[in-house]
Amino acid sequence: MSITGADLPTLLPGMLPRLWAFALRISGDTHDAEDLVQLACVRALERAHQLQPDSSPLSWMFSIVHTTWINEIRSRNVRSRSRQEWNESVIESVTDPAAATPETDLMHEQILKAVNGLPDGQREVMLLVAVERFSYKEAAEILEVPIGTVMSRLSRARQTIGTLLNGGQKTPGTGRPLAQT
């Protein structure tokens, strides 16, 4: 059975947690994330007829969230407003509530801080591939970039995070972070 745009209203509620988490991670602000998801859902419902039967509705929605955010950033730049910084209290609320130890919570917080410190392109690819588990191809479609760009950004993001989590230490002779060996 193929999924069509007519199925979208019944599928959206199940997608909302992942869409909101992605929107929060790329926007860094709970209010922006809420507005972003709401606007993306409205746009998707208005354009439900454009959902192709062979497309993943979740990938399609992530693409709409991403495009909507890019348009918002451009609008803000035109209005000379800068992107809001990540609120430290949000980091605490995103950690895994089922973590078994405080060390696990600390590790999650360190990883979230490292990911947040990445340039936008690398952060978005890392979130889509490592967190949301999209394939490289799906991430490329969502971000509207070549698959090689996704691979390159992901590689640089992983190297940067590995270096940050190892305190800047690299494996002797390789130039790679210790975490990658």
The CATH code of the domain that includes 76 is 1.10.1740.10
Query: What is the rounded average pLDDT for all residues in the chain?
Result: 80
Q: Cα–Cα distance between 138 and 179 in angstroms, integer?
A: 27
pTM of the model: 0.60
Confidence at 14, pLDDT banded by 50, 70, 90: very high
Considering only residues 159 and 6, tell me which one the structure prediction assigns the higher pLDDT. 159
Domains identified in the chain, total number: 2
Q: What pLDDT is stored for residue 181 in this prediction?
A: 39
Residues 67 and 144 in one domain: no
Confidence at 94, pLDDT banded by 50, 70, 90: low
What count of other Cβ atoms lies within 10 Å of the Cβ of residue 85?
Answer: 9
Domain that holds residue 143: 117-181
Q: What pLDDT is stored for residue 145 in this prediction?
A: 94
Stretch among 26-30, 100-104, 118-122, 148-152 having the lowest mean pLDDT = 100-104
Residues 78 and 4 in one domain: yes
Whether 179 shows a pLDDT value over 70: the answer reads no
Sign of CA dihedral 66, 68, 71, 72: negative
Q: Cα–Cα distance between 82 and 110 in angstroms, integer?
A: 25
Residues 38 and 79 in one domain: yes
Residue 35 placed within a domain: yes
Residue 169 placed within a domain: yes
**In what helix (H) or strand (E) does residue 32 lie, and over which residues does it extend?**
helix 30-46
Residues 60 and 130 in one domain: no
Confidence at 84, pLDDT banded by 50, 70, 90: very low
Considering only residues 151 and 73, tell me which one the structure prediction assigns the higher pLDDT. 151
Residues 8 and 62 in one domain: yes
Q: What pLDDT is stored for residue 177 in this prediction?
A: 47
Residues 68 and 4 in one domain: yes
Mean pLDDT of 126-144: 90
